[in-house]
Amino acid sequence: MTILRLMPYHWVMTSAQGLPKVTDFAAKSSTRVAPAKGSRPADSQKKKLNFTKKALLALQPSGKRSYHSDTGVRGLTLTVFPSGVKTFFLYRKINGRPERISIGGFPDLSIEQARGRAEELNGAISRGANPASDQRLVRAEATLSELFQAYLEHHAKPYKRTWAEDQEMFRNHLNNWGPRKLSDISRMDVGTLHKNIGGKSGHYIANRIVRLLSTMFNKAIEWGWKGENPATKIKAFKEKKRKRFLQPMELPAFWQSLEAEPNQTIRDFILVSVFCGARRSNTQEMRWEEIDWQNATWSIPAEKAKSDEDIVVPLSPIALSILKTRKDAATSEWVFPGHGKTGHLVEPKTTWKRILDRARTIQKKNWLEANPRKSEADFIKEFPNAFHDLRVHDLRRTLGSWQAITGASLPVIGRSLGHRSLAATQVYAHLTVDPVRQSVDRATDAMLAAGKLLGPANG
C-alpha cells in the first residue's frame, strides 16, 4: 500500500485496486493531537494563572474539562480532565488554523520543563514549522522516509549546518528502509545494518548512520510516538582517525591532472581547498564579501564555522592570485557558483573522479617511464590505491600535513585550520617526527661538540 501526503490532516491511501481512500488520521487516532470540532477552548474558557506547583496541585476536577492558561509562556495551557488527570498543552494558531500540541502530564513533567518545551515549540512555529503535524505524523504510524522528512525540515535544517550530510547519508544507506513503518524496525535490524555498512563503507560512516537513526527516533518519541528507539545500545565500531593526504610522489601527477581539467570553476575550487585548508562546505559557500583583499584574508563568519567562532584564513599569494582572476570575471555573489538551488558549487563528485582517474593514469605513465623494467602489475602492487582513496576533504588535511612536515607546531596548524581544540589537531602529530628528530640531532651534535667530540652529522 502506497501512502502519499496531501495536507496536514489528510493522507491518500491507494489500495491494491487502485481506488483512493481519504483517511483522517487525526480523528482516527485515540491520542489525537488536533482537537475535535468544538473541543478547542475559547479564550473566555481559559483562566489566566501564574503556574506554580502549589497552584496547579490545588486545581480540582469538575464535571467537565477546565483550562488554565499560563501567564508566563504564550499558549501554554494546563487541562484538568474530569478524571483528575492534568496535562500540559500548547494552544496556538498555525497557518491560521488552531492547533493543540501535547506536551506532557503534570506533575510528572515539571512546570519548568513544560515552559521550556513550550518555548521550543513557539520558536519552531515562528520559523514556519508545524509541530502539531509532526505529532500527527508519528502517531499515525509514519514510515521511516516520512519521519526523516519531518526530522529534516523541523530539526536538522533549523539547527544543523551539516543537514545536507544527513540527507546524503539517508539517500545512500537508508533509502531502502524508507517505506518501512517505524514499529517494523527492530534493534536487531539496526545492528545488522550497522555491521553491513561497516564492512562495505567503513566503520566511521556505519557509526554515523546509527547516530542519525537514533536522533530521528528520539525526535519521533518527542513528537508522541509510543515505540522504543531501536538504534540505542548498538555498540559503535572503534574508529581510526583518517590520515590521508597528498603524498610527495603523488603531487606531480595531481598537478598535471588539474592543469588538464577543462572545468575551471572546479579546478580553482580544488586549488583553493588545498592552499587555504578550509572545510569543504565553507569553501563551497565562499562569498566575495568575505574576502579582504588589502589584508589578504578570508573571514568565515561564526554561523558558518563548525567552531561557532569567526575564522580568519590567511590567503597565500597563489590563493590570492586565483581568487583575483576569478573576481575579474565574476557575475555571482559566490566565488564558486553552481547550477543548483543553492546557487553555489556542491561536492563535485563526477569531476573529482575524473581528476583522480587522470592523475592515476599520469602517475602510472611517469612511474613506468622511470622504471622501464617494471610492469603495470608492479605499479598496482606498489600503489594499490593510487588516488582512488583520496577524498575532497583530504585536501584540507593535505595543507595541515605539509605544515607538520615542514616543522610547524600543532597550535599553529590548529589555528590555520580553524580547530577549536588542540585535540582536533593531534592527527598531525605523527608527521612532526622528522622535524623533531632533526632538532634532537642538532642538539646532540651541539652537546657533543661542546664536549670536543664529533657528532653524527660531522662523521
C-alpha cell at position 148: 526523516
Predicted local distance difference test score (pLDDT) of residue 428? 52
**Closest-CA residue to 117 (of 105, 442, 128, 438):** 105
* 135-151 pLDDT tens trace: 665 555 788 998 999 89
Q: Are strands 20-24 and 10-14 parallel, antiparallel or unpaired?
A: antiparallel
**What was the pLDDT predicted at 57?**
92
Total Cβ atoms within 10 A of residue 130: 20
Please tell me the predicted confidence (pLDDT) of residue 117: 84
pLDDT along the chain (459 residues), means of 10: 36 33 29 42 70 91 89 90 88 82 84 88 81 63 87 85 84 90 88 90 89 93 84 86 73 88 93 83 91 88 71 83 93 91 85 92 91 90 82 77 63 58 53 50 58 46
Close Cβ partners of 33 (under 8 Å, ≥ 6 residues apart): 26, 99, 100, 101, 102, 132, 135, 136, 139, 224
pTM greater than 0.75? no
Kindly give the pairing relationship between strand 66-70 and strand 76-80: antiparallel
Q: Which uninterrupted H or E stretch holds 4?
A: strand 2-5
Q: What are phi and psi of 367, to 5 degrees?
A: -70, -40
Minimal CA–CA distance to 168: which of 137, 212, 219?
212
CA 109/CA 102 separation, integer angstroms: 12
Rounded-to-integer distance, Cα 44 and Cα 128, Å: 27
The four Cα atoms 329, 331, 334, 337 give a dihedral, to 10 degrees, of -90
Q: Give the pLDDT score at 30.
A: 32
Alpha helices of 277-348 — where are they, by DSSP H? 280-284, 317-328
SS3 of residue 91 by DSSP: strand
| Residue 443: other Cβ atoms inside 10 A | 11
